[in-house]
Structure 1
Amino acid sequence: MDYMIEVNHQRIKTNGIWLHVAEKGTGPLVLLLHGFPELWYAWRHQINHLAENGYHVVAPDLRGYGDSDSPLNPNSYTIFHIVGDLVGLLDHFGQQKAYVVGHDWGAVAGWHLSLFRPDRVIGLVNLSVPYFPRSPTTKSTEAIRELYGDGTHVIQFQEPGRAERAFARYDYTTVMKKFLLITDNMIAPPDMEFIDFLDTKSALPAWLTEEDIRVFAEKFEESGFTGPFNYYRAMDLSWELLAPWQGLKITVPVKFMIGDKDFGFKSDGRSEYVLGDDFRSLVPNLEVVVIGGHHFIEQENPQEVSSQILSFLREHPVDQ
C-alpha cells in the first residue's frame, strides 16, 4: 500500500533474526524505535523531518512486529534480545555510534542500550516512558500488580493466549483506534478484559487519518499481536537478568519528552518523579520537556517532537 512517505525498505539479519527497517536520508545515523502497538510508520513525520535536515534515519519494526521476524518463545523477547538487535543494526550500517530515539517500549530499549553500551550511543531522546530503577527484591510484574492491581494491560498480557482471545473479538482497525486514542484511565476493573475497557472513539482526531489506521491494522492482521505481547511476558525474565546492572546510572546525554495529558504522567505521582531529583539521579545528563499531548506524542504532536529531537541532535554533534 502507499504509505504516503517515500522510504527505502529492507530486511537486515541481526542477532539471529531478520528485522525490517525503513530508512531515509544521509548523514549521522539516527535510530527511531517504536512502542506498543506501533510500527516504523509511527515515526513517519520524524523520518521526513530528520532526513531533510541531514540525518540518516533508520526506523525498524522491532522483533515481533510488522515485517520483522517474530520468534515464538516469549523468552526471546528480553530487553537483552531487543538491545542485541539494535547493536546488530549499528554494526550492519558500519557505525560505532548513533543517536537513538525511542517511544514507549522503544524508550525502554533506548534506556537499556544506553545502559549496556554507552559506547554505541551519541545521545538519547526518549518519549513517554521514563527510566525507572530496578527493584532489587520485587519482580517487575509483582511491582505493577501491587501498584495497579490485575486490571492493567501488563498483568493481563502475561497469560499466553488470554489477550489474543480478547483482542480477536475486535477487527484490527478497532483495536488500533482503541489504543492510539487512549486519553484517560488505563486500569480496567479486575474482572474485565483490558481491550473491552478501552473506548472506541466515534471520530478520529485531526492528527490521525483512516489511512494511517489502515497501515497499522493491515500489518497487525498479517503478524498478529503475540510478538508484541511477548515483550510483557518476558518482563520478569529481564528483571532477573538485569541484576548485575543494579544501581548503575545512564551516563549518555538524554532529552526526555512526555505529554502533559499522558496517563503515565498524570497518575500516582509520576509527574513528581519525572520532574524530580530521583529520575535525575539515575540519568545525570538529563533534560526533561513536557509538551502538549497524550501518550502517542510523536504522532499527536509531530512538529514539536520533531523540533525537539532536531535541536537535541544539533546540541550533541558527532565527534569529528
Structure 2
Amino acid sequence: MQTRRLKTDGLTQQILEAGTGPLVLLIHGFPELGISWRAQVEALAAAGYHAVAPDMRGYGGTDRPAGAENYTALHLVGDMVDLVRALGERDCFVVGHDWGAPIAWHCALLRPDLFRAVAGLSVPFQPRRPNGPPTPAMAVLSQRAGLGDLYINRLQAADAHLAFEADPATALRKMFWSYDGATADADQSTGFLPPGVSMLDHVPDHATLPPWMSAEHFAGYVAALTAGGFEGPVNWYRAMDLNWSLTAFLQGRKIHQPALFIVGERDPVRHYSGAHETGMADWVTDLRGRMVLPGAGHWIQQERAEAVNAALLDFFGSLPAQLDRKP
C-alpha cells in the first residue's frame, strides 16, 4: 500500500491505494479516514483490483474548505467523480461506510455511467422525502418519542466541533468504543442524548479502545484529527438540510446498478436508520444481498474485516468484467 496526493478539479485529495485492475473506491465516514479501509485495500489488491481509499473532503491529508455549504452531497459525489478521472479510469465500483454509504449510494444514483456497482455498509439507502428538510423532522420525532435529542441535531450547532477538538484522543476513543460491537448494551450509544448532556459526556469515562483497534492505528486517527480539526467532518452533518434543498431533482429516482448492503447486528445506527433497511429493495432495484453480521457493531470493515472482505469479493466477482476500459 502507498499513500499519495492527487490534484483534482475541486481540491487535492490524499489516497491510500494498492493493486492494479478494476478500480474500487472506498469511502469512509465519521470520524474515520482512508486508513479505516486498510484490510479491504490489501484484500482487494491481492484479488486483482485497484483499491483506492481517499481521505474525504475535510479529513486527513485532503483539503478542508471552509463553510458547511462546501460539504454538500453534490460536492462529495463530485470529488469522487474527479478522483476517478484523476486516476485515469472512466468507471469503477464504489463502497461506502457510515457517512460514506450515503455518498456511495448517491454516486450510483447520480452517475450510473461511472459507478457501475455499489456497496453500502452500516447505512442503508434513504430516498429523498418530499415533506421538508430532515433535521427538523428528526427533532420532532425524537422528542415525541421521549428519546431526547438525536446527536445529529446537536451537531447542527455552529460550535459543535469544539468539544471534539478540546481533547481529540478522548473524543475518538469514546466514539469508537460506544459504537463498537464488543461494548456492552448498557454502554453502547443509541444516538439519542438526554437534555443537557453532551455527546461525549454521555459516554462513560471508562471507555477503552475497541478490541480491533491497535494503539498505532488509533494514533493515526488522533494525529490527523488533531492537525485538521473536526469542523470539516462536522460540516457534513450541517449540510444535511442543504442537501435536501438541492436535490429535488432526485425525488423518486431509484438505483438500478447491482448493489450490496452490509450491517452489524448490534450497530447503534440501526436505532435511527434501521427502518430504511427493509424497504430498501423498493429503491435499490438490483439489491443482490442484505447481510447482517452477528454481534458486530458499527465499524464493520474494521471489526469484521474478513467477513466484509469475503462479501465484497463475492459481490464484485459475480459481476461482469466491465471495468477494464481506459478513457
Alpha-carbon shift at residue 16 of structure 1 (Å): 2.0
Q: Which residue of 1 aligns with 2:158?
A: 160
Residue 66 of structure 1 is aligned with which of 30, 53, 60?
60
Q: Which residue of 1 aligns with 2:71?
A: 77
Structure 1 CA distance, aligned partners of 2:313 and 2:3? Answer: 23
Residue correspondence of structure 1 range 283-294 to structure 2 within 5 A: 283-286=284-287, 287-292=289-294, 293-294=296-297
1:20 aligned to 2:14? yes
**Using a 3 Å threshold, how does the CA distance of structure 1 residues 14 and 148 change in structure 2: closer, same or farther?**
farther
Q: Contact (CA 8 Å) 2:13, 2:61: kept in 1 or not?
A: yes
Counterpart CA distance in 2 for 1:202 and 1:279 is 34
CA gap of 1:211–1:200, structure 2 versus 1, over 3 A, is: farther
Give the structure with the larger helix fraction.
1
CA distance in structure 1 between the partners assigned to 2:10 and 2:275 by the alignment = 41
Offset at residue 202 of structure 1 (A)? 4.4
Question: How far 1:67 sits from its partner (Å)?
Answer: 0.6
**% identical equivalent positions:** 38
Output the CA distance in 1 between the equivalents of 2:22 and 2:291: 24
Alignment partner of 1:175 is 2:176: no
Look up the equivalent residue of 2:137 and give its one-letter code: A
Superposition map of 1:198-209 within 5 A: 198-209=203-214
Partner of 2:261: 256
**Residue 190 of structure 2 is aligned to residue 194 of structure 1:** no
Shift of 1:172: 1.8
Pick the aligned partner of 2:313 from 290, 310, 313: 310
Q: Which residue of 2 aligns with 1:3?
A: none
Distance in 1, Cα, partners of 2:228 & 2:209: 24
Alignment-mate amino acid for residue 219 of structure 1: A
Q: 1:197 to 1:247 in 2, by over 3 A?
A: same
Counting only pairs closer than 5 Å after superposition, residues 207-286 of structure 1 correspond to structure 2 as 207-265=212-270, 267=271, 271=274, 273-274=276-277, 276=278, 278-286=279-287
RMSD of equivalent CA atoms: 1.5
> Which residues of structure 1 form unaligned runs of 5+?
1-6
Quote the offset at 1:13 in angstroms: 1.9
Residues 1:296 and 2:276 aligned together: no
CA distance in 2, matches of 1:146, 1:300: 33
2:94 maps to which residue?
100
Please give the secondary structure, in 2, of the residue aligned with 1:158.
coil
- Following the alignment from structure 1 to structure 2, what is the Cα–Cα distance between the partners of residues 36 and 272? 21
Q: Which residue of structure 2 aligns with residue 8 of structure 1?
A: 2
**Which residue of structure 1 aligns with residue 185 of structure 2?**
none
Aligned length: 308
In 1, the alpha carbon distance for the partners of 2:37 and 2:321 equals 22
Shift of 1:219: 0.5
Kindly provide the amino acid, as one letter, of the partner of residue 16 in structure 2: A
Distance in 2, matches of 1:271 and 1:243, equals 24
Counterpart-to-counterpart distance in 2, 1:271 and 1:106: 17
Q: Which residue of the partner structure matches residue 4 of structure 1?
A: none
Residue pair 1:101, 1:124 contacting (<8 A) in 2 also: yes
For residue 183 of structure 2, what is the aligned residue in structure 1?
A: none
